[in-house]
Amino acid sequence: MTLNPKIKDRRSPLTPAGRGKGAWLATLEAGAHALQSAAPLKDFDVYVVGFHCAKGEPGHQMEAHHYCKVVNDDLLQCVLFDGNTRDAQLIGIEYIVSEHLFETLPEEERPYWHPHNFELLSGQLVAPGLPEKAEKAFMKRLLNSYGKTWHTWHTAGLDGPGTGLPYGDPKLMWSFNRDGECDETLKRDRDEAMGLDTDARRADRQSFLDGARPQHGVDAMRDDFPGATPIPGVVDVRDTTAPTDPGRPS
């Protein structure tokens, strides 16, 4: 995937452990380009940037660059990086399902999946480089959806510098669901570096409100962020007696 030249670079915050590239690499790359196929990667052509938090660890926050493949109307698969340049490190994966597919999941599986409505309605999730109308249409398709995200490498974040190699167990990541949960310095740093206007996106996406339905998991980390403020359209299913519609987004 070649990035739109209008998208500003966001480089990886670290250099991985290990020695420099040897001369053997040029031969390997030439052979790979000529003889091998990268077919599974060719359709990962949707690029979005947001913020993640480890479930149950409110201080473990970071910026995440998603490169996604639209499998069908109900499923996306994403590979996650800590930047958008050739030196970016692979830090995890995310699967995204529609509300329709989420409702088919067994009860014991649902706690692994975070809700997306706050990310959309707050303007925090963005698709840099897409024309405004195309980005808005794509984000509307994600309304009421859910993500299952695992990070395998902590390269940098709110809680300090990362590690030179991917240590320890994968972390299940969660979404932010109220104003005041995502650290302001993370948001400001990304927006200034990439020339993004989150506030303008937030205002524009208020047109999504009529389609936003209560979601599971909105309150999963409520007690971890005392003082955070709810926003319209982001409601946990346990906070309402209104029936939810498991149908597909319009």
Give the H or E element holding residue 204: helix 198-204
The pLDDT assigned to 9 comes to 87
* 36 in a structural domain: no
At 34, the pLDDT band (50, 70, 90 cuts) reads low
Least-confidence region, from 47-56, 148-157, 235-244 = 235-244
The Cα 134–Cα 126 span in angstroms is 11
The pLDDT assigned to 39 comes to 83
* 2 in a structural domain: no
The Cα 145–Cα 162 span in angstroms is 30
Alpha helices (H) along 79-147: 99-102, 117-121, 132-142
Q: Classify residue 110 by its DSSP letter.
A: G
* 63 in a structural domain: yes
At 35, the pLDDT band (50, 70, 90 cuts) reads low
Give me the mean pLDDT over the 147-170 stretch: 92
The pLDDT assigned to 149 comes to 98
At 16, the pLDDT band (50, 70, 90 cuts) reads confident
SS3 114: strand
Percent share of the chain, pLDDT over 70: 86
* 88 in a structural domain: yes
* 9 in a structural domain: no
The Cα 228–Cα 33 span in angstroms is 50
The pLDDT assigned to 242 comes to 46
pLDDT higher than 50, residue 245: no
- The count of domains in the chain is 1
The pLDDT assigned to 26 comes to 57
* 49 in a structural domain: yes
* 30 in a structural domain: no
Q: Please name the residues in contact with 21: beta carbons below 8 A apart, sequence gap of 6 or more.
A: none
Residue with structure tokens 């409505």?
A: 117
* 27 in a structural domain: no
pLDDT higher than 60, residue 91: yes
Q: What pTM does this model have?
A: 0.86
Question: Whole domain around residue 228: which residue ranges?
Answer: 44-239
Give me the mean pLDDT over the 158-187 stretch: 94
Beta partners for residue 70, in sequence order: 76
Q: What are phi and psi of 50, to 5 degrees?
A: -150, -160
Q: Which two tokens stand for residue 98?
A: 């529609």
Give me the mean pLDDT over the 57-84 stretch: 96
At 38, the pLDDT band (50, 70, 90 cuts) reads confident
Give me the mean pLDDT over the 127-134 stretch: 94
The pLDDT assigned to 40 comes to 85
In Å, the largest CA–CA distance within the chain is: 65
SS3 35: helix
The pLDDT assigned to 12 comes to 82
The pLDDT assigned to 90 comes to 97
For the chain, the distance separating the N- and C-terminal CA atoms, rounded to the nearest angstrom, is 29
Q: Please write the tens of the pLDDT for every residue from 183-234.
A: 999 999 999 999 999 999 999 999 999 999 999 999 999 999 999 999 999 9
